[in-house]
C-alpha cells in the first residue's frame, strides 16, 4: 500500500502543463461516450433503447390514480422485453449479471422515475430479498412468480417510528413451536410499516422485517415472506393498511402503510440464509455475532443504494444536456454588438453555473462505474470476503449521498439557467426534481449514511487503515502530534510565505498540478479524521450515555469528514479514468474538466484550507481567476461534453432541448438582417440623438 507523503503540498512546485497547451484540442465525442458507458456498455445501450420507447414514458398531467395504473402495466411490459431479470439465477431465466443488472436498471429513470422505483421495489428489493436472504426452497417457491409479475410484492422494512434505524424496528415475529408458525405482530401504531412501495394497492405479498423471538430470546431483525392479499385485492385476516396518498413526487407508485395483528405464517417462511429456527424453536446461525449478522443481512440489499447512485447520475446528465444545449442557442442582450445578441453560454456567470456541474457529473459517473465494479465483484463471488462486503457498503454509503444531492442541485440550477422556459412542465425539470427529491432519503437518509462512513473511517484509523480499492482509504501516517506541529503552529505559514512570495503564475501552476490537488484533497481528509480520532479518543471506555453525548457533540464534523472523503473518492475515480483516455484532444479537455472539479472542491472549502494553514492567502487569491480561465477553455467544448452522455431526443423529451430555440433565434436574426437591408427599419431614438449631438458639435 502506498503511504501518503508527509511533505506539505506547497513546499514543492512541480512542473506541469500550462493552460495554454493544446488550445486546439478536439473532443472525440464517440470515444468519450463509449468510455462513459463503461464495462456494461452493451447492456446500457439495450436499456436506453427501451427507455426511449413511448410505451414506458411518463405522461405529464396524469392523475395519481392513472399514473399508478400506467406504471403497474409498464412492469408487465418490462417483463415481456426481458429488461429486469439480469441479476436472477440463470436456472430461473436470469443471467447472473449483477453489475449489468444495475447498469440497465438505472437507465429506466430517464423514462419515468416512478417506473424505475416501482421496478426497483418489485425486483431490486422484494425479489432481491427472497434471492439473497432466502435459500433454494424459497427461490423455487416464489422467484418465478416474482420475476413474471404473478406475485407483485413489497419490501416492508421501514416503520413510522423507525426509519433509518432498522435495528430498532418494533414489529415482532414470535415462534410458536406447537403450531410451527411465526406470529407477526405490530404492537403499536408507530410500529406500522410505512412508506412501503406497492403496499397501498398492488402488493400481494411482502418481505417483512421483524424482531425474531424464539424461546424467549430476541435474535434481532430477520426477514419473513408474508402473503398480504387475496387475488381480489382484499387484505388477508389480521392484515390491514392504508394509502399514503399524494406525495411530492413519484406518484406512479402506490406507497402505503401495513400493520399486522397476530398474523401466523409457516416456520419455513423465514428467509433463513443467515439465521434459522428448528422445529423445536432452537435458533442457529453461521454468523455468531448478532451485530455482524445484522449488517451482513442488510448488506445483501446494498444494490438499492448503488442503483440510486447511478440513477442520480443519469438524471444529472439529462438535465445538463438540455441546459447546456439551450445555453448555446438562447441569445440575450447585445452588450458586445449592436447587431447580434450574446448566447447565454458566453457569459462567465452562466459558465460558472453549468460547467462545474458538468465536471462534477463526470466525477460522479466515473465513481459510479468503480462502485458497479465493486458490487459485481461481491455479488458474483469473485471478490466476496467480509472485507469486500464492508468496503462495498462503505463506498455505496459514501457515493449515494453526494450523487443524489448533486442531482437535485443540478436540476435546480439547470431549471433556473433556462429561465421561465425551465419552469414549464413540458421541459421536465420541475417534475424530475420532484421525483428525485426523495432519493436523498430512501435506501438510507444521506446524513445517516455519511455518519456510517465516518465511523468506518475512524475504525480504520484505529486499525491502521487496512485500505480498500482506488485509494478510498489511504493509510494515514500523520500522527496527531505531527499534525499539530505542521498545521497548527506558525511553522507551516512561515514556510508557505517563503514559497508564495514568488510570482502568482507559480502559485497557479502548483494548484493545477494533479499531485498537488491530490495532496490538498487527501490531506484535508487525513487531518479531519485524525482530529476526530483525537476528540473521540476514549469513547469506547466511557459509559454508554457519555459516549453517545460525545459523538453527538461531533456529529457535524463526522458528516463533513465523510463528505470530504467521498469527494476525494470521486476525484480519484475521475483521475483514474483520465489514464484510460486514449485520444489526446479528449484527454486534454477531460484534464481541464478534472482540474475544474478538483479546484472547485478546494474553492468551496477555502476557509478550511486557510484556517489550517494549507494555503496562503496569496495562493488562494489565484484560485478564482484560474478557475475562470479554465471555464473559458472549456466553453468551446461544452456541447461535446454533454453530447458524450449519449442521450437522444427520445430520452430528453424537453421542448427546449430539441433545437427549437436555435430555429427561433435564427428566424429573429434573419428578420433583423432583412429589415436593415431594406432600409425600411425605423431609426433608433438613441441613434437619432447621437446624430443631432454630432451635428450640433460640428
Cell of 195: 412508506
Do 613 and 685 have their domain in common?
no
Q: Cα(161)–Cα(258) distance, rounded to whole angstroms?
A: 13
Beta-bridged to residue 264, according to DSSP, are 183
Q: Is residue 96 part of a domain?
A: no
pLDDT digits (tens, 9 = 90+) for 374-394: 999 999 889 888 888 889 999
pLDDT of residue 462: 73
Q: Cα(523)–Cα(261) distance, rounded to whole angstroms?
A: 55
> Maximum Cα–Cα distance for the chain, whole Å?
114
- The answer for residues whose C-beta is within 8 angstroms of residue 234's C-beta and 6 or more apart is none
Q: Is residue 107 part of a domain?
A: no
> Lowest-confidence range among 450-454, 530-534, 634-638?
530-534
How many whole angstroms from its chain centre is CA 118? 18
Do 375 and 420 have their domain in common?
yes
pLDDT digits (tens, 9 = 90+) for 215-269: 999 999 999 999 999 999 999 999 999 999 999 999 999 999 999 999 999 999 9
Q: Is residue 60 part of a domain?
A: no
Angle between helices 617-634 and 504-512 (to 10 degrees): 70
Beta-bridged to residue 185, according to DSSP, are 172
Beta-carbon neighbour count of residue 317 at 10 Å?
25
Do 596 and 677 have their domain in common?
no
On whether the CB atoms of residues 4 and 522 are closer than 8 A, the answer is yes
Cell of 82: 426481458
266, 293, 320: which is the final residue of a domain?
293
- DSSP class per residue in 613-681: TSS-HHHHHHHHHHHHHHHHHHGGGHHHHHHTT---HHHH--GGGTTHHHHHHHHHHHHHHHHHHHT-S
244, 275, 293: which is the final residue of a domain?
293
Higher confidence at residue 510 or residue 97? 97
> What value does the CA radius of gyration of the chain take, rounded to a whole number of Å?
28
pLDDT of residue 283: 98
pLDDT of residue 6: 31
Question: Is residue 467 scored above 50 in pLDDT?
Answer: no
Average pLDDT of the chain is 87
Q: Is residue 608 part of a domain?
A: yes
pLDDT digits (tens, 9 = 90+) for 163-176: 878 999 999 999 99
Q: Is residue 142 part of a domain?
A: no
Do 599 and 522 have their domain in common?
yes
249, 267, 293: which is the final residue of a domain?
293
Do 377 and 274 have their domain in common?
no
Question: Is residue 205 scored above 90 in pLDDT?
Answer: yes
Q: Cα(240)–Cα(228) distance, rounded to whole angstroms?
A: 9
Q: CA geometry: angle at 541 spanning 538 and 546, to 5°?
A: 85
Q: Is residue 529 part of a domain?
A: yes
The domain that holds 198 is classified in CATH as: 2.40.110.10
pLDDT digits (tens, 9 = 90+) for 68-92: 999 999 999 999 999 989 999 999 9
Do 271 and 317 have their domain in common?
no
The domain that holds 329 is classified in CATH as: 1.20.140.10
Q: Cα(197)–Cα(325) distance, rounded to whole angstroms?
A: 36
Domain housing 524: 1-26+302-658
On whether the CB atoms of residues 221 and 167 are closer than 8 A, the answer is yes
- DSSP class per residue in 108-124: GGGT-HHHHHHHIIIII
pLDDT band for position 508 (cuts 50, 70, 90): low
Do 424 and 461 have their domain in common?
yes
pLDDT of residue 394: 93
What phi-psi label fits residue 506: left (phi over 0), alpha (psi between -120 and 50 degrees) or beta?
alpha
Do 257 and 368 have their domain in common?
no
Do 472 and 398 have their domain in common?
yes
Question: Is residue 501 scored above 50 in pLDDT?
Answer: no
**Listed residue (661, 638, 670) closest to 347, CA to CA:** 638
CB burial of residue 94 (10 Å; 0-12, 13-18, 19+):
buried
Do 580 and 514 have their domain in common?
yes
How would you classify the pairing of strands 263-266 and 256-260?
unpaired
- The answer for residues whose C-beta is within 8 angstroms of residue 233's C-beta and 6 or more apart is 201
pLDDT digits (tens, 9 = 90+) for 174-200: 999 999 999 999 999 999 999 999 999
Rounded mean pLDDT, 469-478: 37
pLDDT of residue 7: 32
pLDDT of residue 617: 87
pLDDT band for position 13 (cuts 50, 70, 90): very low
Structural domains of the chain, count: 3
pLDDT of residue 695: 83
Q: Is residue 72 part of a domain?
A: no
pTM of the model: 0.88
Do 529 and 591 have their domain in common?
yes
pLDDT of residue 691: 81
Do 197 and 283 have their domain in common?
yes
Q: Is residue 45 part of a domain?
A: no
Amino acid at each position: 500500500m502506498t503511504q501518503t507523503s508527509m511533505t506539505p503540498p506547497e513546499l514543492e512546485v512541480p512542473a506541469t502543463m500550462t493552460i495554454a497547451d493544446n488550445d486546439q484540442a478536439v473532443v472525440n465525442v464517440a470515444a468519450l461516450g463509449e468510455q462513459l458507458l463503461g464495462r456494461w456498455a452493451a447492456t446500457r445501450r439495450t436499456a436506453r433503447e427501451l427507455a426511449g420507447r413511448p410505451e414506458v414514458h411518463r405522461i405529464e398531467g396524469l392523475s395519481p390514480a392513472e399514473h399508478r395504473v400506467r406504471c403497474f402495466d409498464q412492469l408487465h411490459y418490462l417483463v415481456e422485453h426481458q429488461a429486469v431479470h439480469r441479476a436472477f439465477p440463470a436456472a430461473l431465466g436470469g443471467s447472473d449479471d449483477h453489475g449489468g443488472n444495475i447498469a440497465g436498471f438505472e437507465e429506466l429513470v430517464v423514462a419515468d422515475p416512478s417506473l424505475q422505483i416501482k421496478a426497483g421495489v418489485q425486483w431490486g428489493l422484494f425479489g432481491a430479498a427472497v434471492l439473497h436472504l432466502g435459500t433454494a426452497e424459497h427461490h423455487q417457491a416464489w422467484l418465478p412468480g416474482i420475476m413474471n409479475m404473478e406475485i407483485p410484492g413489497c419490501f416492508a422494512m421501514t416503520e413510522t417510528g423507525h426509519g433509518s434505524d432498522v435495528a430498532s424496528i418494533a414489529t415482532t415475529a414470535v415462534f410458536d413451536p406447537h403450531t410451527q408458525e411465526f406470529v407477526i405482530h405490530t404492537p403499536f401504531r408507530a410500529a406500522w410499516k410505512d412508506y412501503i412501495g406497492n403496499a397501498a394497492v398492488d402488493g400481494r405479498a411482502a418481505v417483512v422485517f421483524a424482531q425474531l423471538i424464539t424461546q424467549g430470546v430476541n435474535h434481532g431483525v430477520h426477514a419473513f415472506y408474508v402473503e398480504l392479499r387475496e387475488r381480489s385485492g382484499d387484505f388477508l385476516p389480521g392484515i390491514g393498511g392504508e394509502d399514503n396518498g399524494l406525495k411530492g413526487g413519484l406518484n406512479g407508485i402506490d406507497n402505503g402503510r401495513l400493520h399486522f395483528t397476530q398474523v401466523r405464517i409457516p416456520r419455513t417462511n423465514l428467509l433463513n440464509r443467515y439465521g434459522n429456527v428448528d422445529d423445536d424453536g432452537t435458533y442457529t446461525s453461521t454468523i455468531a455475532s448478532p451485530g455482524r449478522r445484522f449488517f451482513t443481512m442488510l448488506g445483501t440489499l446494498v444494490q438499492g443504494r448503488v442503483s440510486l447512485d447511478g440513477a442520480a447520475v443519469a438524471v444529472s446528465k439529462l438535465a445538463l444536456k438540455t441546459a447546456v444545449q439551450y445555453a448555446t442557442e438562447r441569445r440575450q442582450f447585445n452588450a458586445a454588438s449592436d447587431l447580434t445578441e450574446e448566447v447565454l453560454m458566453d457569459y462567465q456567470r452562466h459558465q460558472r453555473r453549468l460547467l462545474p456541474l458538468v465536471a462534477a457529473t463526470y466525477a460522479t459517473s466515473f465513481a459510479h462505474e468503480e462502485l458497479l465494479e465493486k458490487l459485481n465483484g461481491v455479488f458474483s463471488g469473485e471478490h466476496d470476503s467480509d472485507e469486500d462486503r464492508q468496503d462495498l457498503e462503505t463506498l455505496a454509503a459514501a457515493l449515494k449521498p453526494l450523487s443524489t444531492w448533486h442531482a437535485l442541485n443540478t436540476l435546480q440550477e439547470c431549471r433556473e439557467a433556462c429561465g421561465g422556459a425551465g419552469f414549464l412542465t413540458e421541459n421536465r425539470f420541475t417534475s424530475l426534481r420532484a421525483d428525485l427529491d426523495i432519493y436523498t432519503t430512501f435506501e438510507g437518509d444521506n446524513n445517516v449514511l455519511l455518519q456510517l462512513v465516518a465511523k468506518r473511517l475512524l475504525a480504520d484509523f484505529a486499525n491502521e487503515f487496512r485500505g480498500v480499492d482506488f485509494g478510498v482509504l489511504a493509510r494515514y501516517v500523520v500522527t496527531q502530534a505531527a499534525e499539530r506541529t505542521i498545521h497548527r503552529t506558525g511553522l507551516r505559514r512561515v514556510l508557505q510565505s517563503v514559497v508564495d512570495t514568488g510570482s502568482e503564475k507559480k502559485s497557479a501552476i502548483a494548484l493545477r498540478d494533479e499531485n498537488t490537488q491530490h495532496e490538498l484533497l487527501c490531506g484535508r481528509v487525513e487531518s479531519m479524521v485524525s482530529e476526530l480520532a483525537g476528540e473521540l479518543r476514549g469513547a469506547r471506555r466511557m459509559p454508554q450515555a457519555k459516549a453517545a453525548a460525545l459523538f453527538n457533540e461531533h456529529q457535524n464534523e463526522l458528516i463533513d469528514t465523510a463528505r470530504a472523503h467521498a469527494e476525494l473518492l470521486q476525484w480519484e475515480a475521475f483521475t483514474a479514468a483520465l489514464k484510460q483516455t486514449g485520444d489526446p484532444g479528449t484527454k486534454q479537455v477531460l484534464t481541464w474538466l478534472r482540474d475544474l472539479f478538483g479546484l472547485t472542491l478546494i474553492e468551496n472549502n477555502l476557509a478550511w484550507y486557510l484556517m489550517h494553514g494549507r494555503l496562503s492567502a496569496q495562493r488562494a487569491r489565484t484560485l478564482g481567476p484560474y478557475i475562470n480561465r479554465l471555464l473559458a477553455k472549456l466553453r468551446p467544448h461544452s456541447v461535446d461534453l454533454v453530447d458524450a452522455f449519449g442521450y437522444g431526443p427520445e430520452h430528453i423529451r424537453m421542448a427546449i432541448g430539441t433545437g427549437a430555440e436555435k430555429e427561433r433565434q435564427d428566424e429573429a436574426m434573419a428578420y433583423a438582417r432583412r429589415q436593415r437591408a431594406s432600409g425600411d427599419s425605423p431609426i433608433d431614438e438613441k441613434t437619432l440623438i447621437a446624430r443631432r449631438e454630432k451635428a450640433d458639435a460640428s
